[in-house]
C-alpha cells in the first residue's frame, strides 16, 4: 500500500502563502480601506496611516488597488485555467481513447497552435478583437489548452494500454465510460499538478498582457496593470511598481512549491502501484 509523502516545510510555506493571497482576494471589499479608484493623496506619497503602502501615480491608495487587483487577477486566471482544462483534458483523453485518424487530426492541430509563439498570438488577437474580459479569458484559455492537451493525451496514452482499460473496451463500454470511470480517476494526481502550473502561468501571462496594455483595461486594475502604471516612478526612486511585481513573484513561487510537493506525491503513488 502506497504512502503519501510527508508535507515538507517548503510545501507548508507554499500552502500558507497561496492561502493568504486567496483570502486577500476573497475578502477584498472588507480589507481594502478605500475604493479602487479613489484619490487619497498626492502622487507617489510614502506609506502613511491613510495609505499603508503609499500612493500610486495619480494619488490612489496602492494597498487598496493591490487588494482589488488580487481579486481581478485570481478571477481571470482561474476562469482561463478552468476553461483550458475543460477543453484540453476532454480533447486529450478523447484523442488517446479513439486513436487512429482522430488522434492524428487533433494532435496535428494542437501542434500547429503550439508552433505559434504564445505572446505574439495573443497580441495579434487582442489587438484586433475588443479588449473585454470575455475575450481575454477565451484567448488565454485556448492558448493554455494546447499545453493541457499535450499533457493529458500523454497521460491517457499510458493508461489506455493497461489491462483494466483493455478489458473495459472488450466489454463494449463506450469511450465516455472508459474516460470517466477508468482513465480520469487514475490521472487526477498528475493533472492536479499540471493545474497548479497552468494557474501560475496564467497569472504571469495575464500580468504580461496587462503590462503591455492589452490585458485588463482601466479603471479595472490587476497586478500587471499596477506595475505598468507605476513603472515611471522607478526613475525617481519610487518603488511603487515593485510591490505588485513582488506580489506576482511570491504567489507564483508559493504555487510552484505546492506543485513540487504534488509531483512528489504523484511519483510516490506510481512507485506504490508498481511495487504492489
Chain centre distance of CA 94: 23
Question: Mean pLDDT over all residues of the chain?
Answer: 86
What's the burial of 49, exposed, middle or buried (CB within 10 Å: 0-12/13-18/19+)? exposed
Higher pLDDT, 174 or 195: 195
Q: With bands split at pLDDT 50, 70 and 90, how would you rate the model's confidence at 275?
A: very low
Higher pLDDT, 34 or 7: 34
d(CA 198, CA 195): 5
The pLDDT value given to residue 276: 47
pLDDT in tens, 142-161: 999 999 999 999 988 888 87
Q: With bands split at pLDDT 50, 70 and 90, how would you rate the model's confidence at 130?
A: confident
DSSP 234: G
What angle, 0 to 180 degrees and rounded to 10, lies between the N-to-C axes of helices 133-159 and 100-115? 130
Q: With bands split at pLDDT 50, 70 and 90, how would you rate the model's confidence at 271?
A: low
Q: Within a domain: residue 119?
A: yes
Place of cell 478489458: 167
Q: Within a domain: residue 15?
A: yes
Helix ranges (DSSP H) in 27-132: 28-31, 62-98, 100-115, 118-128
Place of cell 492558448: 143
Q: Phi and psi dihedrals of 61, rounded to 5?
A: -65, 115
Average the pLDDT over 67-83 and give the result: 94
Cβ atoms of 91 and 156 within 8 Å: the answer is no
Asked whether the predicted pLDDT for residue 84 surpasses 90, the reply is yes
Contacts of 237 (CB under 8 A, 6+ apart): none
Q: Within a domain: residue 251?
A: yes
pTM score, two decimals? 0.87
C-alpha cell at 37: 479608484
Angstrom distances, CA of residue 129 to CA of 79, 112, 138, 220, 221: 19, 21, 11, 19, 20
Beta-ladder partners of 61: 55
Cβ atoms of 190 and 266 within 8 Å: the answer is yes
Average the pLDDT over 107-134 and give the result: 89
The pLDDT value given to residue 265: 62
Q: What is the CATH number of the domain that holds 117?
A: 1.10.3720.10
Asked whether the predicted pLDDT for residue 162 surpasses 80, the reply is no
Q: With bands split at pLDDT 50, 70 and 90, how would you rate the model's confidence at 21?
A: very high
Q: Within a domain: residue 2?
A: no
Share of the chain above pLDDT 70, in %: 93
Number of domains in the chain: 1
d(CA 42, CA 61): 10
Q: Within a domain: residue 76?
A: yes
Least confident piece of the model among 63-67, 156-160, 245-249: 156-160
What's the burial of 253, exposed, middle or buried (CB within 10 Å: 0-12/13-18/19+)? middle
Q: Within a domain: residue 3?
A: no
Q: Write out the residue range of the structural domain in which residue 210 sits.
A: 9-275
The pLDDT value given to residue 52: 87
Q: Within a domain: residue 141?
A: yes
User: What's the full length of the chain, in residues?
Assistant: 276
The pLDDT value given to residue 227: 93
Q: Phi and psi dihedrals of 161, rounded to 5?
A: -95, 0
d(CA 104, CA 46): 59
Q: Within a domain: residue 1?
A: no
Q: With bands split at pLDDT 50, 70 and 90, how would you rate the model's confidence at 2?
A: very low
Amino acid at each position: 500500500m502506497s504512502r503519501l509523502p510527508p508535507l515538507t516545510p517548503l510545501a507548508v510555506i507554499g500552502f500558507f502563502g497561496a492561502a493568504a493571497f486567496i483570502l486577500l482576494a476573497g475578502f477584498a471589499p472588507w480589507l481594502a480601506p478605500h475604493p479602487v479608484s479613489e484619490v487619497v493623496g498626492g502622487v507617489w506619497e510614502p506609506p502613511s496611516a491613510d495609505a499603508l503602502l503609499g500612493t500610486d501615480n495619480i494619488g490612489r491608495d496602492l494597498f487598496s488597488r493591490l487588494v482589488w487587483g488580487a481579486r481581478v487577477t485570481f478571477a481571470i486566471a482561474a476562469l482561463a485555467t478552468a476553461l483550458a482544462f475543460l477543453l484540453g483534458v476532454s480533447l486529450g483523453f478523447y484523442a488517446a481513447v479513439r486513436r487512429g485518424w482522430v488522434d492524428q487530426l487533433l494532435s496535428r492541430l494542437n501542434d500547429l497552435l503550439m508552433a505559434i509563439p504564445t505572446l505574439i498570438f495573443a497580441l495579434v488577437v487582442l489587438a484586433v478583437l475588443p479588449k473585454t474580459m470575455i475575450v481575454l479569458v477565451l484567448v488565454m484559455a485556448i492558448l493554455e489548452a494546447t499545453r493541457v492537451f499535450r499533457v493529458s493525451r500523454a497521460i491517457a496514452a499510458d493508461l489506455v494500454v493497461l489491462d483494466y482499460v483493455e478489458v473495459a473496451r472488450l466489454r463494449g463500454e463506450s469511450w465516455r465510460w472508459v474516460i470517466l470511470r477508468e482513465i480520469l480517476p487514475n490521472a487526477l494526481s498528475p493533472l492536479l499538478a499540471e493545474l497548479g502550473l497552468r494557474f501560475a502561468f496564467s497569472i504571469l501571462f495575464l500580468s504580461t498582457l496587462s503590462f503591455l496594455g492589452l490585458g485588463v483595461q482601466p479603471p479595472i486594475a490587476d497586478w500587471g496593470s499596477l506595475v505598468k502604471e507605476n513603472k515611471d516612478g522607478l526613475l525617481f526612486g519610487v518603488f511603487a511598481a515593485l510591490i505588485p511585481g513582488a506580489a506576482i513573484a511570491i504567489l507564483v513561487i508559493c504555487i510552484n512549491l505546492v506543485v513540487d510537493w504534488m509531483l512528489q506525491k504523484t511519483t510516490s503513488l506510481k512507485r506504490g502501484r508498481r511495487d504492489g
